[in-house]
Structure 1
Amino acid sequence: MKKKWIGIILGAVLALALIGCEQQMPQATGEAPLPQATLPAPESGAEESKLTVNATETVKAAPDIAYVYIGAQSSGATAEEAQQKNAAVADAFLNAIRQQGVQEEDIETSNINIYEDYDKAGNYIMDNTYKVTIREIDKVGAVIDAATAAGANSTYSLSFDLQDRDSIYIEALGKAMQSIDAKAKAVAASGGYEIVRPLSIEENGGSGYYPMVEAAAMDTAAGGGMATPVTPG
């Protein structure tokens, strides 16, 4: 089974002032190419040159929070009947979710919809859907099963994330700067230059990759049998 990760890709650019004699950069002779960098020759009479180096680093971590949409659908001969039936089901499965340790602030109403069933004249359908945040990642399957056993018949869009994205962002930034430092020293040394001081540091920002494990929208029926297997990573 493939591991599922949440990661961030971050780049940074460092410009440095160099001193040294003017010379042409040597070509790489080994299998590994020189780091990506630009090193213009010093202008006539100038004592310093400029070296620009960039690096991109990726940091990944196992997800520790999950989100899932859970709902119920009921029908009735009148709109009121459909609403009353669905309200009872929703109340039951929300209580079941709470008993699994999900806090009230982690249950958010996502959709309430009542409409006439045009395939069955004189019938009405009521939908209630809730976005549930599960902070105990190992209880995702238990929460879904408890809701289903209590009458929920719609479960979809299960996804995973990190509660603290900032920590991996800072880690990626630190790694990018370490990589830039090593590249700058290698390029400067190979050209016979000495690093004097940094001129500027530019953070290119991070582009997150947040894979979503999604179950196709499905009807679920309560009953005995196997528990729902959920593996965040």
Structure 2
Amino acid sequence: MPFSRRPVAAAVVSVLALGVPALAAAPAHALPIRPAAVPRLATAVPAPATVTVTGEGSASAPPDIAVVGAGVESFAKTSQSALDAQSTAAAALLAAVRAQGVAERDVQTRSVTLIPVHDSTDGVSRLTGYQAAQWFSVKVREVARTGAVLQAVTDAAGDAARIDSVVFDVSDPAPLQARAREAAHADARAKAEQYARLSGRRLGALVSLSEDASTYPRPVSPAGETSGAGIAAAPVAPGEIRAGATVTAVYELD
């Protein structure tokens, strides 16, 4: 008997006529649709307690150099005569300090001046002559010889000699300033530890550290200038050089 295709074709036509897809049914094990997840808000972590302190420190050292401000002045009726006298006195001054062991690199000319001098008696200005001057910076690297250098200057230049300053210093201030910073840091930590103990807490990590000031004061030079006569007879007192530092530190409290 021959196979008939009619029933199968009829079935397909019936399904299409009804508008129902042949495999449209959802499987029985399909998962239900879930709503979108809502993000959870992060819990704020409280900031750690801190203590802020200021530390101060200083360090001192004896000076190892002296800087002498020395010069010569001369007055004459003519400018050339004044310059000649000034040059002679300056040459004598330089020879004297070199004889005291001061190196060439430690002597520097600060200024050379030539100015007219007028007399204004009775309200009338009259030229009376010229004043010539030359000033030097003399670095003495053996502090104990400062007095001898002053004496040599006044002996060599006589009444033309002038001394306007003697300043003691240290040749390398960096180690002195470093010691002052170390002292300031230690002072800040000691204060912070005390405040932590008083608060019933333990000192935690260092949060920040800033330098507020670093000072390096030098002795003040004598005001004004002094003529050579008698200046070297006065003893010099080098004293000490002091550096200072101030820091602000913030520490956590555990």
TM-score above 0.5: yes
Q: CA deviation at 1:154?
A: 0.9
Shift in CA distance, 228/97, structure 1 to aligned 2, threshold 3 Å: farther
What is the root-mean-square deviation of aligned Cα atoms in Å? 2.3
User: Contact (CA 8 Å) 2:68, 2:138: kept in 1 or not?
Assistant: yes
Q: Secondary structure at the match of 1:209?
A: coil
Q: CA deviation at 1:221?
A: 3.4
Task: Report the Cα distance in structure 2 between the residues aligned to 1:186 and 1:149, rounded to whole angstroms.
Answer: 61
Task: Report the Cα distance in structure 2 between the residues aligned to 1:198 and 1:185, rounded to whole angstroms.
Answer: 12
Per-residue CA distance 1:115-141 (angstroms, 9 max, x = gap): 222137452221111111111111111
Equivalences, count: 188
| Residue equivalent to 2:172 | 164
Please identify runs of 4+ aligned residues in structure 1 that moved more than 6 A. none
Shift in CA distance, 57/139, structure 1 to aligned 2, threshold 3 Å: same
Q: CA deviation at 1:158?
A: 1.6
- Tell me, yes or no, if structure 1 residue 192 matches structure 2 residue 192: no
User: Contact (CA 8 Å) 2:73, 2:133: kept in 1 or not?
Assistant: yes
User: Contact (CA 8 Å) 1:158, 1:215: kept in 2 or not?
Assistant: no
TM-score (norm 1): 0.73
Per-residue CA distance 1:191-217 (angstroms, 9 max, x = gap): 122233211111212123322241641
Task: Report the Cα distance in structure 2 between the residues aligned to 1:221 and 1:199, rounded to whole angstroms.
Answer: 61
| Residue equivalent to 2:134 | 128
| Residue equivalent to 2:182 | 174
Q: CA deviation at 1:101?
A: 1.1
Shift in CA distance, 204/122, structure 1 to aligned 2, threshold 3 Å: closer
- Gaps of at least 5 residues in structure 1 are 1-43
Task: Report the Cα distance in structure 1 between the residues aligned to 2:219 and 2:195, rounded to whole angstroms.
Answer: 36
Task: Report the Cα distance in structure 2 between the residues aligned to 1:155 and 1:226, rounded to whole angstroms.
Answer: 9
Q: Which moved more, 1:80-89 or 1:188-197?
A: 188-197
| Residue equivalent to 1:99 | 99
User: Contact (CA 8 Å) 1:160, 1:212: kept in 2 or not?
Assistant: no
| Residue equivalent to 1:31 | none
User: Contact (CA 8 Å) 2:150, 2:232: kept in 1 or not?
Assistant: no
Instruction: Mark the structure with the bigger radius of gyration.
Output: 2
- Gaps of at least 5 residues in structure 2 are 1-43, 120-125, 240-254
Task: Report the Cα distance in structure 1 between the residues aligned to 2:46 and 2:189, rounded to whole angstroms.
Answer: 24
Q: Secondary structure at the match of 1:118?
A: strand
User: Contact (CA 8 Å) 2:75, 2:131: kept in 1 or not?
Assistant: yes
Q: Which of 103, 128, 150 lines up with 2:156 in the alignment?
A: 150
User: Contact (CA 8 Å) 1:141, 1:230: kept in 2 or not?
Assistant: yes
Q: What code does the residue aligned with 2:187 have?
A: S
Shift in CA distance, 137/215, structure 1 to aligned 2, threshold 3 Å: farther
User: Contact (CA 8 Å) 1:142, 1:228: kept in 2 or not?
Assistant: no
Q: What code does the residue aligned with 2:228 have?
A: T
Q: What code does the residue aligned with 1:102 have?
A: V
Which structure dedicates a bigger proportion of its chain to helix? 2
Q: What code does the residue aligned with 1:57 have?
A: G
Q: Which of 232, 238, 250 lines up with 1:232 in the alignment?
A: 238
| Residue equivalent to 1:73 | 73
TM-score (norm 2): 0.67
Task: Report the Cα distance in structure 1 between the residues aligned to 2:143 and 2:236, rounded to whole angstroms.
Answer: 9
User: Contact (CA 8 Å) 1:116, 1:124: kept in 2 or not?
Assistant: yes
Shift in CA distance, 124/45, structure 1 to aligned 2, threshold 3 Å: closer
Per-residue CA distance 1:139-169 (angstroms, 9 max, x = gap): 1111111011111521112222221211111
